[in-house]
Structure 1
Amino acid sequence: MKNKTLYNLNFTDQGHGPPVILVHGVAGSLRQWDYLHPHLLHAGYRTLAVDLLGHGDSAWAKDPLHMNRHGGYHIEPVYEHFKLWLDSLQLSAPPVIIAHSMGGYLALSHVLRGYLASGLLLVSPYYTPKQLSAPVRLSIQRPVISSVLLQNTPHTWVESVIRLSHRNGLSTLSGEAQRQMAVDFKRFDPRVIALPHSTEDLTPHLSRINLPTMIIWGNKDLTLSPGSFPRLALSIPHARSLCIPNCGHVPHLSHLNLVNQHALNFIREVLPVPQA
């Protein structure tokens, strides 16, 4: 797989056919979609996965104007980099956007601004600051201190924390996925954690989303309130949803076979591959 760079964003572009865009969340990278990629390619889709600004192999923000008043990233430049990248791709059709967590916020924002998509598949999506769990709220209250702590936390400690969290709904997360999450966590710009400070509550606008949407989440999510996802599904007119029991914040990694199958079924329905 050969990576490319555009607008300071690292991305992969594989296959031919109808386009599917893959967007990770905070502290993730495009590698989180490694388990879905092969299935999409085999099904005949062009798949494009991106490292968002400040993540993976993409650049970190340098312009002070990219920061919010708390000293962390502002959501708008993160979205603008994503939008510029998306606009440059010369897609053959409006894409299906598959997005996790904060990536879901970007996807929702994109369609709410009038840009076309064939469908949204949102995994544990963030759409309002009200979703944030108490530990997450605490970490973003002091973004500078949290950034220093993150930078100085040994990689092995990060792996241990991820491993321990499996006891709370992530028991099926593979060792390989654990290691990749730890790698991604150590290489993202820690100032990103303050992103929620600059986000708005999208709830009042959700009824304007008039396209097929699927929402997948776990009932043991410790990052975002599990009760927020059914409310999201009810707010979007053409949304369907899947709640996975005993599952945490990363269903696409912890329950990958189930999520992959539902993702393929949804994509085939809303953006079929033309028959030869």
Structure 2
Amino acid sequence: MDTHTGNATTPDGTRLAYRDHHATAPDPDAEPTSDSQRPPLLLLHGLAGHMGEWDDLLPVLLADGHRVITYDARGHGASTRRPPDMTRASAVRDVTTLIEELSLPTPVTLLGQSLGGHTAFLTAAAHPHLVDSLILIEAGPAGPSPDLPAGIAAWLDSWPTPFTSFSSAAAFLGHEAWARGLEEREDGHHPRWDRDTMLAAVAELSTRAYWPEWARVACPTLVVRGARGTMREAEMTRMARRARIWTAVIEDAGHDVHLDQPRRLHAAVRAFLAARNTT
């Protein structure tokens, strides 16, 4: 694997930390496809997360021959911690900034989980020429969700920070991947985000639904729901009424499908990309 680490700067001055991964050799068992049939994959993590969440999925995507870009969303991880704008529109601009600054061959495939998936389909709606296909994990246009900010605040406030050790953080958060996103200081492990910034990131979702934007998405899309996740079956069913939609329910997975069942998720992603290439 050949990885380049860098920072992209958005129009409002926000710094986005990213990693650009290139496969050194494709999986010999992978179906042969031309480069034009393997658009770059841009991976978008969810709220309070970080780009390292994709580490379990990354090797198999690279083995399939994909170029994969991961990044810390604004307000998260190694990106600008207190950006001037946390609107949904600013998150979409971040995607287009990365595509432009990395000179990615377009269209790309966007794979996003939770809030990252929401950003992904908004990008496809606003910039259809940039997006070849979408993979949405526990993400959709339903709303409004007036209780969401309070629920997120309660969740963030429940974190016993600073965590005294990496193991205690992993045990509380449920996955080592979450713990790897923390910052280690002398007094323990701290989140690399601010509470108010996280609440600002979901503020718009509390006030409206995004079905009009979803109706403008025309590219092939895979919608993935964890069998124990938070995405409602009715939302997936309604999304599937649009043409060129594939759906998958991953057993033994919660909201963090990519962490709970990365191999099963990869199988669904691989099957979708193969089907998309033949339609």
- TM-score, normalised with respect to structure 2: 0.76
Instruction: Identify unmatched segments of 5+ residues in structure 2.
Output: 10-14, 24-34, 184-188
* Counterpart-to-counterpart distance in 1, 2:65 and 2:56: 16
Secondary structure of 1:59 counterpart: coil
1:50 corresponds to 2:71: yes
Instruction: Identify unmatched segments of 5+ residues in structure 1.
Output: 67-72, 167-172
* Counterpart-to-counterpart distance in 2, 1:61 and 1:83: 20
1:203 corresponds to 2:211: yes
1:93 is matched with which residue: 99, 102, 106? Answer: 106
Secondary structure of 1:118 counterpart: strand
Q: Note the alpha carbon deviations across 1:121-161, whole angstroms, 9 max, x for none.
A: 111114334468x6x44245xx6x987x4797222499758
Secondary structure of 1:32 counterpart: helix
* Counterpart-to-counterpart distance in 1, 2:158 and 2:191: 7
* Counterpart-to-counterpart distance in 2, 1:100 and 1:185: 23
CA gap of 1:101–1:122, structure 2 versus 1, over 3 A, is same
Query: Which runs of 4 or more aligned residues in structure 1 lie more than 6 Å from their structure 2 counterparts after TM superposition?
Result: none
CA gap of 1:271–1:37, structure 2 versus 1, over 3 A, is farther
Aligned twin of 2:270: 264
* Counterpart-to-counterpart distance in 2, 1:254 and 1:80: 30
CA gap of 1:187–1:164, structure 2 versus 1, over 3 A, is closer
CA gap of 1:241–1:2, structure 2 versus 1, over 3 A, is same
Aligned twin of 1:218: 226
Q: Note the alpha carbon deviations across 1:32-87, whole angstroms, 9 max, x for none.
A: 11112111222111111111101111112343xx2xxxxxx333323322322223
Aligned twin of 1:177: 177
1:11 is matched with which residue: 18, 33, 41? Answer: 18
CA gap of 1:19–1:256, structure 2 versus 1, over 3 A, is same
Q: Percent identity?
A: 21
Aligned pairs, number: 248
Amino acid at match of 2:215: S
* Counterpart-to-counterpart distance in 1, 2:190 and 2:122: 25
- Are the counterparts in 1 of residues 61 and 68 from structure 2 also a CA contact under 8 Å? yes
- Are the counterparts in 2 of residues 159 and 182 from structure 1 also a CA contact under 8 Å? no
Aligned twin of 1:187: 192
Aligned twin of 1:21: 42
* Counterpart-to-counterpart distance in 2, 1:109 and 1:159: 36
**Structure number with higher helix proportion:** 1
Aligned twin of 2:186: none
1:102 corresponds to 2:115: yes
CA gap of 1:269–1:231, structure 2 versus 1, over 3 A, is closer
- Are the counterparts in 2 of residues 11 and 50 from structure 1 also a CA contact under 8 Å? yes
**Structure number with higher strand proportion:** 2
- Are the counterparts in 1 of residues 18 and 70 from structure 2 also a CA contact under 8 Å? yes
Higher relative contact order (CA 8 A, sep 6+): 1
* Counterpart-to-counterpart distance in 2, 1:244 and 1:185: 31
